[in-house]
A = this chain, B = another copy of it.
Amino acid sequence: MKKVSISFKVLLPATVIAIFFLFSCQTGIKENQNSYAEDRALIEDLQARYMFALDNDDLDTYILTFTEDGILDIGEGEWKGRDFIKNLLSSMPQEEPAVADSGLHRTTGRHNISNIVLKIEGDTAWGRAYWFHMSNENPQRKPQLNSYGHYEDEMVKVDGEWLFSKRKIYNEEIAKWAAPEGNPSW
């Protein structure tokens, strides 16, 4: 009996302390996994993969950067849902001249993102960023800036993966797509 009694007296405080530290450690790990840096790193990767898919006509990958019911707004109203966005984009005319016509190597277009501002709360994030586009549709295949603007994004974390729930694109070249005055960031 005595032996059992002592063991219990030993185990009880040890267990209390154990549970306390279990929570302490778990909190430490959790803060790590949900840290600003961790989320920002994943979102930066998302933003970059979006560009690669967009510029390389990889619509299947592009569309997977949005949530199932994600919204794309290029200034023509809200296009909602992966299928809807994909159908609209795939029906757009390709501007690139055929390689066969020129005798030169194919032309390319490149969207670049910069100045990424991110506010993150739990599984939701709000982003602001600049974009600018260059292409080389000339006989020298020399890069030319074509257009620029900024993004206003909403993103959500779904099953550990950050996705666009809404991307609103402003384009300073076209009057109806240009941003209003004022700082869209914070």
Q: Please, which residues of chain B bring their CB within 8 A of the CB of A140?
A: 173
Assess the B136–A173 pair: CB atoms within 8 A.
Answer: yes
Assess the B175–A148 pair: CB atoms within 8 A.
Answer: no
**Alpha-carbon distance between A125 and B103 when the two chains are bound, in angstroms:** 38
Question: Please, what's the 1-or-0 string for A3-14, where 1 marks a CB less than 8 Å from any CB in chain B?
Answer: 100110111011
This chain: copies in complex: 3
Count, chain A residues at interface, CB 8 A: 82
**Alpha-carbon distance between A179 and B141 when the two chains are bound, in angstroms:** 13
Assess the B9–A52 pair: CB atoms within 8 A.
Answer: no
Q: Please, which residues of chain B bring their CB within 8 A of the CB of A175?
A: 104-105, 141
Assess the B11–A44 pair: CB atoms within 8 A.
Answer: no
**Alpha-carbon distance between A51 and B27 when the two chains are bound, in angstroms:** 35
Q: CB of A83 within 8 A of chain B?
A: no
Q: CB of A123 within 8 A of chain B?
A: no
**Alpha-carbon distance between A186 and B128 when the two chains are bound, in angstroms:** 23
Q: Please, which residues of chain B bring their CB within 8 A of the CB of A118?
A: 45
Q: Shortest CB–CB separation between residue A62 and chain B, in angstroms? A: 9
Q: Please, which residues of chain B bring their CB within 8 A of the CB of A136?
A: 148, 172-173
Q: Top 9 closest A-B pairs, CB basis? A: A52-B185, A58-B183, A56-B183, A37-B37, A37-B41, A105-B175, A48-B115, A28-B29, A143-B145
